[in-house]
Structure 1
Amino acid sequence: MTVTVPPHLVDQIVAGRCVAFVGAGFAAPAVPAWKMLLRGLAAQAALDADTAAWLSALVENGGSRDLEAAAQILQTAMGADFDAALADILAEQGKPEAIADRMRLLAGIPFDAILTTNFDPFLVGQVPGPDAYQQILRDPPHRWWEPRYWTPDAPGAPVVKLHGEVGPLGSSVVFTQRGYRERLYSSPAYMTFLRSLFATSTVLFLGVSFTDAYLNELRSEVLAMIDQRDEDPPVAYAVLPDVAPHQARYLHSHEGLGTISYDTAGGTDWSGFDRVLEAIHDASNPRAQIGAALAGRTVLWVDSSAEDVAFGRSVLAEAAGRAGGSTRMVQVGSAAEAAAWLRDDRADLVIADLAAGNDGEPVAEALLSTMRREDLRAPVIALAQAPVRAADRLTLLSLGASEVAAGWSDLFRELACIYAPTV
């Protein structure tokens, strides 16, 4: 199966203008089925014979409305014990390893934020409230070069758990129709938050079935507000199963929704979702952006310590390799050696340490001075692993440095500014 990720979606993600909306389908392999969950709760509830029979009939009938009614009965009967019992069942019967790859891919996609209606503990985040709203709406957009997307233990984008979370956060979960009503109509800030985000960001729906009436109404409000037209790019995208071309055309034209569809072979194979998620990750994550910038180029590192630059070199080399380019990584230990290289060979990029080289000379300043004097040309980024004094920065920029980067994230950002056409 070949997955085509819409370029507009990739552009929005890379630019920090995309928010993921994660629904129940994302965590389905890890979370007990509804009937199993309700039976587990019923086993811990002190129910009289009549209520137990009523509950059993609702669960065994198995319609969505019946299951929602069963959940409401259990929540009312168990009171304050309900959330704790729900947390215990998810801890005992949940299978977080079943979605470990999905979680890794989600964390590596540079979304500005992640919203989820899932209350399981597998996706860690904040519950709705002023702190969460301020972080998502008022903080500067998160960009792909930030460590949160590319370090080994990268947490990914900040997460807001719209329906609460069982467990340590101590927030009452939205598990029933009454809970939905209270969240929607007793907390005006909640809907204002969602309206603001949906109106100003491109939303990517993952594992969402669009059966929530309030979600569909909210999307309709936004479409009417911005007067979405057929020729406009989608205001949202969704990864959905088994969407036929004529259905996709309708969703784009009348719902402002771009679809990325996968074939489930008649509802028997859901692995297509994971392939789509991986394709989005590989098209937008930091290594993809760095790889696109450096593919086929020669990078000259000027640093006396191979250990100091090992991490950055490995990230850049891996990224360029995954992009299919034949990137050369060359390291020398002093400004003099770098100048000698540039006299005889070509470099598309020079990354020079601020500290002294193995000849005792400050690498970046000495190299830039030599390059200016001898008219040796290549973009030079001066790299430090700590904050740089303003005076030192001005000196290096006046000598011709493209940027003075304090750490790997600054370096990655500058590579995008120099080379990547999508930023």
Structure 2
Amino acid sequence: MLPASDSDVVPQHLVDQVVDGRCVAFVGAGFAAPAVPAWKMLLRGLAERARLDDDTSGWVADLVENGGSRDLEAAAQVLQTAMGDAFDPALADILATQGRPDAIAERRRLLAGIPFDAILTTNFDPFLVGRVPGPETYQQILRDPPHRWWEPRYWTDDSPGAPVVKLHGEVGPLGDSVVFTQRGYRERLYSSPAYMTFLRSLFATSTVLFLGVSFTDAYLNELRSEVLAMIDQRDEDPPVAYAVLPDVAPHQARYLHSHEGLGTISYDTAGGTDWSGFDRVLRAIHDATNPRAQLGAALADRTVLWVDSSTDDIAFGRRVLDDAARDAGGRTLMVQARSVAEATVWLRDDRADLVIADLARDADGVPVAEALLTTMRREDLRAPVVVLSQHPVTPTERFEAISLGASEVAVGWQELFRELARIFA
């Protein structure tokens, strides 16, 4: 939960959209601000690396020192024109030497753990790994099946998370020029019709969560307006998009919902002095949707009995569930029984909140799960049982296990975690 000083909790509609695989994140400059050198610092660094004549050097210095947004954009354009092919490598060098990826390491971890269907970003820094716009990228995002919350890509801290599209390119070897100037914006928007078609399709069919976006890009606002008009958004309809924004007053939030189709999740900056609320909101969204966080909360302080003769076979799943419970503030007791007889003794004397039984056959050729379920039924030993197989199962095998009392036969870890979430929902 967010602290009481924050004005909103995460809306349930947004949580449902994320979990259902219908939400796309749109990540702006504010997300990476702590890690990226300030705009003036970037421009000064580029000017130092550029071989400018005295007149151009003075021109750039005047534009940068004046400091207005239009002047800074103009300075970027002058530098890009003057430097030509040397512009992108110089920009990459500045980000590599002066950037601080450690400053947003936790943000990146949380972002990767939220089961978005895709992540779009206008940031060209290398701190989010992704692909640049193009037919293969568009096909992957628009045509591939949705990424559901139980997939392994969201389970652990080093999992990749949702696919990332670098809308404005990336400094480095991705093979796409960086959109850093007004000319670059125009070329990206109007020289590549597929680009806007791609965005229009996503905005019309997905709930979009804006993170670190200030809504100053005219094309972004126009695109949102076009989608609202197309679907005839009404006051009583749920938002078509959400945004994490600082210091939004209730009357402003009401207007944005009613007339912009935008749900706001606001945080208090204490007069522009404290931006930690953004991180608290991001964590709240993560904890409300991440499969490991959800399973951890469900399994905290419970007892799980694994019935499997191999320690290695259950090691990964056992570690994920144990870590998840610990992260949720509890501790799951994990007990392994290497045989049906050993499991039966445990169930007679102790209570298990969950039994996970191997489908493999024992030394007598009988499936372990089948023998265990038969014994539990005969002795009236009660606990939810999920049968786990690392190989495809036949309809007959599944029918036999279900008929003996198993809640499900899960093939692989993702089906197991999905079933555990269903059991403990």
TM-score, reference length from structure 2:
0.91
Task: Deviation per CA, 1:259-317: give whole Å up to 9, x if none.
Answer: 11111122122111111111111111112321354457553321234454344234334
Distance between the aligned counterparts of 1:153 and 1:361, measured in 2?
Answer: 38
Task: State the partner residue of 2:143.
Answer: 138
Deviation of 1:140 after TM superposition, in Å, equals 1.0
Give the SS at the match of 2:386.
strand
Task: State the partner residue of 1:41.
Answer: 46
Residue number among 15, 24, 29 corresponding to 1:10 in the alignment: 15
Distance between the aligned counterparts of 2:36 and 2:179, measured in 1?
Answer: 16
Task: Deviation per CA, 1:83-112: give whole Å up to 9, x if none.
Answer: 111111111111111111111111111111
Task: State the partner residue of 1:91.
Answer: 96
Task: Deviation per CA, 1:103-130: give whole Å up to 9, x if none.
Answer: 1111111111100000001100000011
**Taking structure 1 as reference, are residues 276 and 152 closer, same or farther at Cα in structure 2, changes over 3 Å only?**
closer
Q: Which deviates more from structure 2 when the two are superposed, residues 190-199 or residues 287-296?
A: 287-296
Instruction: Name the amino acid aligned to 1:113.
Output: A
Task: Deviation per CA, 1:160-201: give whole Å up to 9, x if none.
Answer: 000000101121011111111111111111111111111111
Mapped contact 1:240–1:259 kept (Cα < 8 A) = yes
Distance between the aligned counterparts of 1:220 and 1:312, measured in 2?
Answer: 45
Distance between the aligned counterparts of 1:130 and 1:182, measured in 2?
Answer: 17
Task: State the partner residue of 2:422.
Answer: 417
**Taking structure 1 as reference, are residues 338 and 208 closer, same or farther at Cα in structure 2, changes over 3 Å only?**
same
Task: State the partner residue of 2:239.
Answer: 234
Structure 1: gaps spanning 5 or more residues? none
Task: Deviation per CA, 1:351-389: give whole Å up to 9, x if none.
Answer: 101235588853112123334556655442211334446
1:25 partnered with 2:27:
no
Mapped contact 2:27–2:120 kept (Cα < 8 A) = yes
Distance between the aligned counterparts of 1:74 and 1:314, measured in 2?
Answer: 52
For residues 264-413 of structure 1, what are the structure 2 equivalents within 5 Å? 264-294=269-299, 298-320=303-325, 329-342=334-347, 347-356=352-361, 362-371=367-376, 378-388=383-393, 392-393=397-398, 395-397=400-402, 399-413=404-418
Residue number among 267, 288, 299 corresponding to 1:262 in the alignment: 267
Mapped contact 1:334–1:359 kept (Cα < 8 A) = no
Give the SS at the match of 1:231.
coil
Distance between the aligned counterparts of 2:114 and 2:330, measured in 1?
Answer: 22
Task: State the partner residue of 2:218.
Answer: 213
For residues 167-178 of structure 1, what are the structure 2 equivalents within 5 Å? 167-178=172-183
Distance between the aligned counterparts of 1:310 and 1:115, measured in 2?
Answer: 35
Deviation of 1:207 after TM superposition, in Å, equals 0.5
Distance between the aligned counterparts of 2:182 and 2:234, measured in 1?
Answer: 34
Distance between the aligned counterparts of 1:121 and 1:380, measured in 2?
Answer: 45
1:68 partnered with 2:73:
yes
Task: State the partner residue of 2:58.
Answer: 53
Residue number among 155, 177, 186 corresponding to 1:181 in the alignment: 186
Deviation of 1:392 after TM superposition, in Å, equals 4.3
Runs of 4+ in 1 over 6 A off after TM superposition: none
Task: State the partner residue of 1:124.
Answer: 129
- Number of paired residues? 420
Instruction: Name the amino acid aligned to 2:209.
Output: L
Distance between the aligned counterparts of 1:70 and 1:63, measured in 2?
Answer: 10
Structure 2: gaps spanning 5 or more residues? none
Distance between the aligned counterparts of 2:342 and 2:354, measured in 1?
Answer: 15
Mapped contact 2:124–2:178 kept (Cα < 8 A) = yes
Deviation of 1:249 after TM superposition, in Å, equals 1.0
Task: Deviation per CA, 1:218-252: give whole Å up to 9, x if none.
Answer: 11111111111111111111111111111111111
**Taking structure 1 as reference, are residues 325 and 231 closer, same or farther at Cα in structure 2, changes over 3 Å only?**
farther
Distance between the aligned counterparts of 1:257 and 1:200, measured in 2?
Answer: 15
TM-score, reference length from structure 1:
0.91
Task: State the partner residue of 2:115.
Answer: 110
Give the SS at the match of 2:239.
coil
1:165 partnered with 2:191:
no
Distance between the aligned counterparts of 1:261 and 1:337, measured in 2?
Answer: 53
Q: Which deviates more from structure 2 when the two are superposed, residues 373-382 or residues 44-53?
A: 373-382
Distance between the aligned counterparts of 1:376 and 1:418, measured in 2?
Answer: 18
Distance between the aligned counterparts of 2:110 and 2:290, measured in 1?
Answer: 9
**Taking structure 1 as reference, are residues 35 and 322 closer, same or farther at Cα in structure 2, changes over 3 Å only?**
closer
Query: C-alpha root-mean-square deviation of aligned residues, in Å?
Result: 2.4
Distance between the aligned counterparts of 1:64 and 1:357, measured in 2?
Answer: 71
Instruction: Name the amino acid aligned to 2:205.
Output: T
